[in-house]
Structure 1
Amino acid sequence: MEGGIAASSATIRNEMKLLEELELLSKTHSSSGRIPSMKGYRYYVDHLLSPVQAHPNEIQRIRQEFGQEFHEINDIIQQSAEILSSLTSYTALALGPDVNERRLTSFKIVPLNHRQVVAIIVTDKGNVENRVFTLPSHIRSEELEVMIRIINDRLIGEPLITVYHRLRTEIPIILHKYFQTTEGILDLFDRMLNHLFEEKIYVGGQMNLLDFEGSQDKVQFKSMYSFMKNPEELTQLLAPRNTMIQIKIGSELGHELLENMSLIQASYDIQGHGKGTIALLGPANMPYSKMFGLVDVFRRELAVTLADYYRILDSSSE
């Protein structure tokens, strides 16, 4: 009997050799010990993983962090990524509820100087966007007022999907009635409103990912740093949303920089307000049972926090 295992050392060696032949274990080099391969981790997740319940202290900490006062939905989503990253020391990714569920409720423009303005855009789901734009030199202040009036007359109160379609069909026709040339005007419309349809991903512990590959050379380190700063690439990591918790390992992540990483992704559903996503990106040898249980309870607490916020929004609008 070896180390509490009811088997001889020879039996253990034979079993280890068999697991290696099945490609469930691998060696980093000839004189090293065996470690699970990506295929081994996949087998464990699919057949052996047994979730461990989150510790009461962790649940209390999550609720405490979510118990603060939030001023808009994006603050909650951003904070969720920070909380999950802090709990795990991994990198957390968060997407809010689907953009198609929102309606445009307010659009304002505040001049900064003779060429720059701040566009303030609000949706009924509590999303607030503030962006600075430089106006084309040929657009006069009275023309800008016409633009604001068109948006408020034609687009306020409409679902974002309707706003999106009208920007490409009805609005260009209307602009031609007011402007001799719409050159620059349509582009300004697009730049002011199109970002509403972008899914904004929030990242917590962005640089934690750099800690998992101690042997990275300078070029690889720079590549990983650039990857973590690219919201489009980070968003592509996430699978389509559903109600299940999903785990992707190694090559399943679809990026060569992440071949030794794993992603645990969970969706949460806010009735009447769409689905969101929270995900954890870390090393392939992460403690899956613990992380699975933690992510599961985390998505539920996040859903409760968002549902409470939406309830306040709905009651204040009545």
Structure 2
Amino acid sequence: MLTQRQDAILREVVSIYTDTGQPVGSKTLMNNLPFSVSSATIRNEMAALEDSGYLEKTHLSSGRIPSVQGYRYYLDNLVQPVSVSDEISRSIDQNFGREYHQIDDLIQESAKILSHLTSYTAITLGPEGQSILLTGFRIVPLNPHQIMAIIVTSDNNVESNIYTVDEKVDSELIEKIVRIVNDKLIGKPLIQVQKLLQTEIPAILTQYMYSDSGFIDMLSGLFKKAESEKYFVDGQLNLLNYAQDYDSSNVQSLFSMINGSDDLKQLLDTGEDNNEIIVRFGSELGNDTLKNYSLITTNYDAGEHGKGLIAILGPTQMHYSQLIGLMGEFRQEFSKRLMDYYSRYDDS
């Protein structure tokens, strides 16, 4: 552990460097520390912090900036979250202040608001789907060889797909299939629906169809789409504001990662299942593409509807004290909006 004076110096170096983007010298520090010491003492302490790996020089004669180790120590021991202002609280409230008819709209809006508030890239993962029920299913013939399958879930989400079939659409057969699916699957969790589609439903459908494989595959794909984890990203172009270089392949890898569900899921997986606000950066993110970036994540709670996640991706040089405070406030307000949404449709 560092001494109290070294703690104060490291905290102030992080603060000044975040504000200015410039290496911090002893004279600048002397004017900003909450106690009086000589410039020589500050230089000695900064040298000790550099020798211990908490500070580093960008050039031989420059001031110093926080190292990765210094940032980690700061985040683990020194950061003091700042409460959001009344203005920011009102802004969050006003931006959420409209009626949402689908859960995806509310989740997507949360990413948009968070990105706007921070000027960074914001990511929102919807609540877990264990409690989501199938509440509606229809098949609509569009023409002799095309049908549209539509499902509605208990979170008022609607999914649909258009399918082309080889044989001419038989309207009476379609209605029988819809009745079967509704009788057997309506009101059941989507996870259970998927299991029944592979077991009980095919056996029933073969009484009416020569082959059910294509139809079951069609339905399975649609239900998987409704059940799958959904990531909403906003402010992707903000990443370019903090790119250290504009190597086209690196920029392409960065955007592919943000827009790819598997890569994004791996990036956001902290291994934690609590409400802590977690900050990871550089090598901790497990991808060299993100060596100059930092990721702040936290879970939010939607009660019986599960937990989700919000995240901010930006440069290592961020105002962590402000952002950690903002994430805590935003998480609470977003959870409240989600519960309001669910209660409205649970009661309907």
TM-score by length of 1: 0.91
Q: Does 1:126 align with 2:152?
A: no
| Correspondence list, 1:102-121, <5 A | 102-121=132-151
Q: CA deviation at 1:204?
A: 1.4
Name the larger-Rg structure. Answer: 2
**In structure 2, how many angstroms separate the alpha carbons of the residues matched to 1:45 and 1:139?**
64
Distance apart, 1:29 and its partner CA: 4.8
Tell whether the 8 Å contact from 1:105 to 1:156 is kept in structure 2 after alignment. yes
Shift of 1:252: 1.9
**Local SS of the residue matching 1:189:** helix
CA shift in 2, pair 1:23/1:156, >3 Å:
same
| SS of the residue 1:244 aligns to | coil
Whole-angstrom distance in 2 between the partners of 1:315 and 1:183:
38
Q: Aligned partners of 1:170, 1:28: CA distance in 2, in Å?
A: 66
Q: Is the 8 A contact 1:212 1:282 kept in 2?
A: yes
Residues 134/16 of structure 1: CA separation in 2 closer, same or farther (3 Å cut): same
Please give the alpha-carbon distance, in whole angstroms, between the structure 1 residues aligned to 2:333 and 2:234.
Answer: 17
- Is 2:104 aligned against 1:84? no
Tell me how far 1:58 sits from its aligned partner.
Answer: 0.4
What do the CA deviations read for 1:182-204 (whole angstroms, capped 9, x no partner)? Answer: 34222212222221221011111
The question of 1:36 aligning with 2:66 is answered yes
| Equivalent residue in structure 1 for 2:340, among 301, 308, 315 | 308
Deviations 1:120-156 (A, max 9, x none): 2211122222x33322314733444443233212111
Alignment check: 8 A CA contact 1:241 1:277 kept: no
1:178 pairs, out of 198, 205, 208, with: 208
What is the alpha-carbon distance in structure 1 between the residues aligned to residue 164 and residue 233 of structure 2?
Answer: 31
| SS class of match (1:98) | coil
Query: CA contact under 8 A between 2:194 and 2:220: conserved in structure 1?
Result: no
Relative to structure 2, which stretch is displaced further, 82-91 or 14-23? 14-23
Displacement, 1:68?
A: 0.9
Superposed, 1:11-90 pairs within 5 Å as 11-30=41-60, 32-90=62-120
Mapped partners of 1:10, 1:118: distance in 2:
76
Q: What SS is found at the alignment partner of 2:143?
A: coil
Gaps of 5+ in 2: 1-25
User: For the Cα contact (< 8 Å) 2:148–2:163, is it kept in 1?
Assistant: no
When residues 30 and 127 of structure 1 are mapped into structure 2, their CA distance, relative to the original with a 3 A threshold, is farther
Q: Is the 8 A contact 1:241 1:276 kept in 2?
A: no
Rounded Cα–Cα distance in structure 2 between residues aligned with 1:57 and 1:160: 41
Instruction: Give the secondary structure class of the aligned counterpart of 1:101.
Output: coil
Shift of the 189–107 alpha-carbon distance from structure 1 to 2, 3 Å rule, reads same
CA distance in 1, matches of 2:82, 2:257: 31
- 1:286 matched to which residue of 2? 318
Could you give the per-residue CA deviations for residues 152-192 of structure 1, whole angstroms, max 9, x where no partner exists? 12111001121122122222333333322234222212222
Alpha-carbon distance between aligned partners in 2 of 1:257 and 1:27, rounded to the nearest angstrom: 23
Bigger Cα displacement from structure 2, 204-213 vs 178-187:
178-187
* Distance in structure 2 (CA, Å) of the matches to 1:163 and 1:31: 66
Aligned residue for 1:262? 294
1-structure distance, mates of 2:132, 2:324? 31
In 1, the alpha carbon distance for the partners of 2:145 and 2:283 equals 48
Q: Does the alignment pair 1:243 with 2:243? A: no
For 1:41 and 1:141, how far apart are their aligned partners in 2?
66
TM-score normalised by the chain length of structure 2: 0.84
Gaps spanning 5+ residues in structure 1: where? none
The answer to whether the Cα contact below 8 Å between 1:103 and 1:158 also exists between their aligned partners in 2 is: yes
Contact 1:116 1:132 in 2 (8 A): no
Q: Calculate percent identity across the aligned residue pairs.
A: 46
**Counterpart code for 1:140:** V
Indicate which of 158, 166, 170 corresponds to 1:137. 166
Change in 2 beyond 3 A, CA 1:175/1:87 = same
Aligned length: 315
**8 Å CA contact 1:25, 1:36 repeated in 2:** yes
Residue 282 of structure 2 aligns with an amino acid whose one-letter code is: G
Coordinate RMSD, CA, aligned: 2.1
Q: Distance in 2 between matches of 1:115 and 1:38?
A: 60
Instruction: Specify the alignment match of 1:297 in structure 2.
Output: 329
Change (3 A) 1:59 1:150: same
How big is the shift at 1:110? Answer: 2.7
1:218-237 matches, cutoff 5 A: 218-237=248-267
Verify: 1:97 aligned to 2:127, yes or no.
yes
Letter of the 1:301 partner, please give it.
E
Give SS of 2:280's match.
strand
Partner Cα separation in structure 1 for residue 144 and residue 38 of structure 2: 83
Deviation at 1:7, TM superposition (A): 3.0
